[in-house]
Chains A and B, each alone.
Chain A
Amino acid sequence: MGWIGRSGRERQDAEFTEYARARAGRLRETAYLLCGDWHRAQDLTQATLARVYVAWPKIERAEAVDAYARRVLTNEFLGYRRRRSSSERVTDELPETAGRAGQPELRLTLLEALGRLSPARRAVVVLRYWEDHSIETVAEMLGMSTSAVKSASLRALAELRSVLGADFLGDLAAV
Chain B
Amino acid sequence: MQAQEEFRSRLREDLTTTSQPPVGALAADALAAGRRIRRRQRTLRAVGGTAAVAVVAVGSAAIAGSFGSDTGSGPGVGAVGPGAVRTTATAPSQSAPSQSAPTRPDPSRSSTSPTAPSRTHGSWTVPPAAKVKVPEWVTPRAIVAQAEHILPAGTQFSALSGDYAWAGGDPRELWAVSGRLTIGTLTEGTALEVTLHKYNGIPSGGASCSAPTTCDREVLNDGAVVEVAHHSGLSGQGSYVWLFRTDGMSIQVSAKDASKISDDELFAIASDGAFGSLKMEKSFVQQAESTVKGDFMNPPTP
**Could you list which residues of chain A lie within 8 angstroms of chain B, going by C-beta atoms?**
13, 16-17, 20-21, 24-25, 28-29, 32-33, 38-39, 42, 45-56, 71-72, 75-76, 78-80, 82-83, 86-87, 109-111, 114, 129-130, 132, 143, 169-173
**Pick from A39, A55, A71: contact of B21, CB under 8 Å:** A39
**Given contacts A47-B297, A54-B37, A129-B4, is CB(A86)–CB(B28) below 8 Å?**
no
Residue contact B11 to A111, C-beta cutoff 8 Å: yes
In the complex, how many angstroms separate the beta carbon of A111 from the nearest chain B beta carbon? 4
Question: How far does the alpha carbon of A109 sit from the alpha carbon of B11 in the complex, in Å?
Answer: 9
**Given contacts A32-B15, A54-B34, A110-B11, is CB(A46)–CB(B4) below 8 Å?**
no
Other contacts beyond A16-B34, A143-B301, A171-B2: 11, CB < 8 A? A16-B31, A17-B31, A46-B30, A53-B38, A79-B300, A80-B298, A86-B289, A110-B7, A129-B4, A129-B7, A169-B3
Interchain Cβ contacts under 8 Å between A and B, 24 examples = A17-B28, A17-B31, A20-B30, A21-B27, A25-B23, A32-B18, A32-B20, A38-B18, A49-B34, A51-B34, A53-B37, A53-B38, A56-B34, A72-B300, A79-B298, A111-B14, A111-B18, A114-B11, A129-B4, A130-B7, A130-B8, A130-B11, A132-B4, A171-B3
**Given contacts A54-B38, A109-B14, is CB(A45)–CB(B166) below 8 Å?**
no
Residue contact A110 to B10, C-beta cutoff 8 Å: yes
Question: How far does the alpha carbon of A47 sit from the alpha carbon of B31 in the complex, in Å?
Answer: 10
What residues of chain A lie closer than 8 Å to B290, measured between beta carbons?
A: 86-87
Question: How far does the alpha carbon of A172 sit from the alpha carbon of B11 in the complex, in Å?
Answer: 14
What residues of chain B lie closer than 8 Å to A39, measured between beta carbons?
A: 21
Q: Mark B36-48, 1 if CB is under 8 A from A, else 0.
A: 1110010000000
Task: Say whether B33 faces chain A, with CB atoms less than 8 Å apart.
Answer: yes
**Pick from B3, B23, B166: contact of A24, CB under 8 Å:** B23
Task: Say whether B111 faces chain A, with CB atoms less than 8 Å apart.
Answer: no
Residue contact A42 to B26, C-beta cutoff 8 Å: yes
Who on chain A is nearest to B11 by CB?
A110
Task: Say whether B35 faces chain A, with CB atoms less than 8 Å apart.
Answer: yes
What residues of chain A lie closer than 8 Å to B298, measured between beta carbons?
A: 79-80, 83
Residue contact B301 to A78, C-beta cutoff 8 Å: yes
Question: How far does the alpha carbon of A51 sit from the alpha carbon of B20 in the complex, in Å?
Answer: 24
What residues of chain A lie closer than 8 Å to B23, measured between beta carbons?
A: 24-25, 28
Question: How far does the alpha carbon of A20 sit from the alpha carbon of B8 in the complex, in Å?
Answer: 23
Question: How far does the alpha carbon of A87 sit from the alpha carbon of B298 in the complex, in Å?
Answer: 17
Who on chain B is nearest to A160 by CB?
B7
What residues of chain B lie closer than 8 Å to A71, measured between beta carbons?
A: 300
Residue contact B26 to A24, C-beta cutoff 8 Å: yes
In the complex, how many angstroms separate the beta carbon of B253 from the nearest chain A beta carbon? 24
Residue contact A55 to B166, C-beta cutoff 8 Å: yes
